[in-house]
Structure 1
Amino acid sequence: MSESPRAQYRQTLARFFARWRSTLLLALLAAALAGALQNAVAAWRARIDNAAIGALAAGRDVETDSASAPELIAARVEYLSAREEFDKARALLEPLDAAGRDELSAIAHYDLGNALLRRAFDLLERGQLEPAGPFVELARREYRRALQFQPAFWDAKYNLDVAARLVRDNPQLEHSGGDELPADPKKIWTDIPGAPKGLP
């Protein structure tokens, strides 16, 4: 009596698994080990990043680069902004924005905007209206960037309005020359030693 097709199929499967069982087991073991290693590395990186973020929060600087975790970059932007290291903080915003973490980008731009606006207020309180202008403009720019990432970011909207009111109340704060203060040709010319008065 011949075997049924179902029995033949089972025998074929049994022979296949008998032949390839050790290879399949090794492949499964390798995949499990690779997954475990990947999880261990991710956990180790998370511990390192958390320690670095804690150091920044405690007031100790930690170097970052474009490959750093977005959370770490955002924490360093806040650290540098609070210490008025504006150029270093702004340099970190590009890799942070490229990471695609909109909420972190919004917070980082907002933090930098706040630091710039605080600097502007400090200058205004000392009666230094002209130097305050660029800081107000840069703060407005950072608040706008924060709102591009998080349109419902109410604090950024409010602070943008505060900066805009400063400009409305003090039109001399309006600054259209980018990040540089406009040069006063009259002052430059007369300040050069030995330069004749009047037109050249």
Structure 2
Amino acid sequence: MSSFYVLDSDSVSIRQTAVADIPEIVKLQEESFADLAKIGNIWHPDELKSHLNIFPEGQLVAELEGKIVGSATSLIIQLSPVYADHTWNGITGNGMLTTHFPAGDSLYGADISTHPRVRHRGIGHKLYQGRKDIAMRMNLKRMIGGGRLYNYCEYSEKLSPLEYAIKVVECNVHDLVLSFDLINGFNFIKILSNYLDDARSLNYASFIEWINPHYRQSLK
């Protein structure tokens, strides 16, 4: 559809999510994550409303010509130890963000999506930059997340999840999610098992981390 065609990302604006955006975000989720939508693993209106009630500053949308073409959901947490194992349901309060901890030191990326018709045009990068801006503005130490190993299902008979992730880090294999995270300045930390019910990743995710270069210890 021509209304989704983008020559560059300059015409895309990133702003805070509003309640009126919820129906479009649900539709975006259905089209961005068709595989997860089949099993109900996408945002539902009650969850999105909860996000806005709990942490409105952490919710972003990408807008193009009046249409929502991307979204990002975040919350603040404090892990102990800093690289503790966790699951998506556990860290997000089963998607409601009730685990949001304003006094925490880490912005957690619970979800990021771009419409399939506008991928690879810088929109995801802009959403990540929006998250980084939040982390810097709120003087958070880092941004972390669990990215599903999207293409691992194609390599699982030959490689362990860690071996697969290392090959992605070394640019010997491309992964739709982890490769994108690495390009956006994240470091791969370790593998998270049983992270999310997902046939493509076989439930494995990569623990990723971006350190805020402007973090000021004295203010925390």
Q: Same fold (TM over 0.5)?
A: no
The structure whose RCO (Cα within 8 Å, separation 6+) is larger is 2
Which one has a bigger Cα radius of gyration?
A: 1
Q: Which has the higher strand share?
A: 2
Structure 1 length normalisation: TM-score? 0.25
